[in-house]
A = this chain, B = another copy of it.
Amino acid sequence: MLVDRVTLLEVGPRDGLQNEAQPVPADLKVALVERLQAAGLRQIEVTSFVSPKWVPQMADAAEVMARIQRQPGVRYSVLAPNAKGLEGALASGADEVCIFAAASEAFSQRNLNCSIDTSLERFADVVAGAKAAGLRVRGAISCAVGCPYQGDVSPEEVERVVKAYRAMGVDHVGVADTIGVGTARQVQSAMERALRHYPLHEVSGHFHDTYGQALANVLASLQMGVHVFDASISGLGGCPFAAGATGNVATEDVAYLMRGLGIDTGIDFDALVDAGQFISEALGRPNGARAAKGWLARRARQLTTPATRAC
């Protein structure tokens, strides 16, 4: 038996747009968030309070947060990796702060320029500050099944970060296959380690489609009872620093799966597809959601008379 209800955490505005090479105007970011919430998404990772020197795309974090017409019942998350970021997050009225540590030592060294232990020590202050201010904290674990530098990542390495998160008071743990190399069993093994320390509703999966495995990994997680998943509208994003990495799993593809399984996501699928098409057209990029492309074609009734052949 699968669960009746799944929550999708939309990461497109942050994890997706962050990786856009072209500058994205704040207007467009605000419009995207508003379309996403109108489509029924109730958890949205909006932006990132990080140094504009490192991530110029997120320099307008405060402006974007200020301008969104917020809806009751929607949780607005922001990334805040340090004290300065937390200050911005608190000032912006975010509901939740997200931090991220790697399960791979090699990735941590090269991506965060410090060891896992050092990154966790730094995050502890952010967590304490956020909790003191009444905010929820979500801790992502990047490279939870594979790393571009060290290769396989063991469940023990994942559990180490999970335990540290638990000890510092992180509310929710996100198991992330950052480079999309994981397959179903590896993902389940990583998830299982998170579930040793967190309840089902406080563990989520974050998958990339680099090797085409994302939706199979969602299904494998769902079969364990996991029912919160990150997804990115029209597959926005990806990791430009990881070899061959394509985008996050598309929100439309995950929503289509849930729809087919009869699992409620609270999402209006037509409105979701429209939101993805809106941002894809605005950015002049192809829509990376397969389900959206199929749905749009179906909607346009692009049916021609078939000839005699099997497909």
Contact = CB atoms under 8 A, between A and B. Distances in A.
Interface of A: 15, 18-19, 50, 54-55, 79, 81, 100, 107, 110-113, 140, 142, 148-149, 178-186, 208-213, 215-216, 218-220, 238-239, 241-246, 250, 253, 256-257, 259-262, 289-291, 293-298, 300-311
A5 to B, nearest CB: 16
Given A243-B301, A302-B244, A304-B241, A212 B250 contact: yes
Contact of A311 (B50, B179, B213, B259): B179
Contacts of A305: 110, 241
B185 A262 contact: yes
Contacts of A300: 243
Given A183-B261, A241-B305, A243-B298, 6 more contacts: A142-B311, A185-B260, A209-B290, A213-B257, A239-B311, A243-B302
Given A183-B261, A216-B257, A244-B302, A211 B308 contact: no
Contacts of A303: 148-149, 242-243
Contacts of A289: 212
A242 B311 contact: yes
Nearest to A238: B311
Given A178-B311, A308-B54, A308-B113, A294 B211 contact: yes
Nearest to A183: B260
Given A246-B293, A307-B54, A308-B111, A212 B260 contact: no
Contacts of A79: 310
Nearest to A187: B260
When A and B form their complex, which 4 residue pairs have the shortest distance between CB atoms, in order from nearest?
A: A183-B260, A244-B297, A239-B311, A212-B290
Indicate the member of A107, A216, A297 with the most B CB atoms within 10 Å.
A216
B184 A309 contact: no
Contact of A244 (B209, B294, B308): B294
A294 to B, nearest CB: 4
30 contacts: A15-B311, A50-B309, A54-B307, A55-B309, A107-B306, A148-B303, A181-B294, A183-B261, A184-B257, A184-B260, A185-B260, A208-B311, A209-B290, A210-B290, A210-B293, A210-B294, A211-B290, A211-B295, A213-B256, A213-B257, A213-B291, A215-B215, A215-B216, A216-B219, A219-B220, A239-B311, A241-B306, A243-B298, A244-B296, A244-B302
A246 B218 CA distance: 21
A19 to B, nearest CB: 8
